[in-house]
A and B are shown apart, each in its own frame.
Chain A
Amino acid sequence: MGCCFSNDDDKGSQVGDPHERTTLLGNPVSNSSTRPGCDDYGSGMKYPHNQRADEQSALNRILHETATNVIDVSAMNSHLEQHEYLDRARQYNQRVAATAQKYTYPQKRPSLLLDLPATEKNLSASPIPQKDLKLLKSACENAVNALQEIKVQHQEELVVQFGIP
Chain B
Amino acid sequence: MEKPLDRCLDEVFNTPGVTGVLCADAQGLCLSSKGTAHPRAAGVITSLMKQAAQLEPTADNLPVLRLESESCNILIQGKSEITLAVYKTPE
Q: Which residues of A contact B (CB under 8 A)?
A: 122, 125, 128-129, 132-133, 135-137, 139-147, 149-153
B82 within 8 A of A: yes
Is B86 a contact partner of A144 (Cβ separation < 8 A)?
no
Q: Is the CB of A143 within 8 A of B66?
A: no
Number of interface residues of B (CB under 8 A): 27
Q: Which residues of B contact A (CB under 8 A)?
A: 1-2, 4-5, 7-9, 11-12, 15, 21, 23, 31, 64, 66, 68, 75, 77-82, 84, 86, 88, 91
B-side contacts of A147, CB under 8 Å: 5, 31, 81-82
> Cβ of A143 and Cβ of B64 under 8 Å apart?
no
The total number of A-B Cβ pairs within 8 Å is: 65
- Given contact pairs A139-B86, A140-B77, A142-B11, A151 touches B64 in the complex (Cβ within 8 A): no
A128 touches B64 (CB 8 A): yes
9 A-B pairs within 8 Å (CB atoms) are namely: A125-B68, A129-B91, A135-B15, A136-B77, A140-B77, A145-B4, A145-B8, A147-B31, A152-B1
Q: With contacts A137-B77, A142-B11, A145-B8 known, what are 11 further pairs, Cβ within 8 A?
A: A133-B64, A136-B77, A139-B9, A140-B78, A141-B79, A143-B5, A143-B82, A144-B82, A145-B4, A146-B2, A147-B31
- Asked if A143 contacts B68 (CB within 8 A), the reply is no
Residues of A contacting B77 in the complex (Cβ-Cβ under 8 angstroms): 136-137, 139-140
Q: Which residues of chain B have C-beta atoms less than 8 A from A141's C-beta?
A: 79
Choice from A125, A133, A136, A151 contacting B84 with Cβ under 8 Å: A136
The A contact surface, by secondary structure, is helix
Closest residue of chain A to B6 (Cβ to Cβ) is A146
A132 to B84, CA, bound (A): 13
Once the chains bind, are B1 and A143 in contact (CB under 8 Å)?
A: no
Determine whether the beta carbon of B12 is less than 8 Å from that of A135: yes
Residue of B nearest to A127 (CB): B66
The 5 A-B pairs of least Cβ separation, nearest first, read A146-B4, A140-B79, A146-B5, A142-B8, A136-B77
Q: How far is the CB of B62 from chain A (nearest CB, A)?
A: 9
Interchain nearest-CB distance for B54 vs A (Å): 17
CB distance from B82 to the nearest CB of A (A): 6
Q: Report the Cα distance A99→B14, complex, angstroms.
A: 65
Shortest distance in angstroms between B35's beta carbon and chain A's nearest beta carbon? Answer: 14
Return B17 CB to nearest CB of chain A, in Å. Answer: 9
A residues in contact with B23, CB < 8 Å: 143
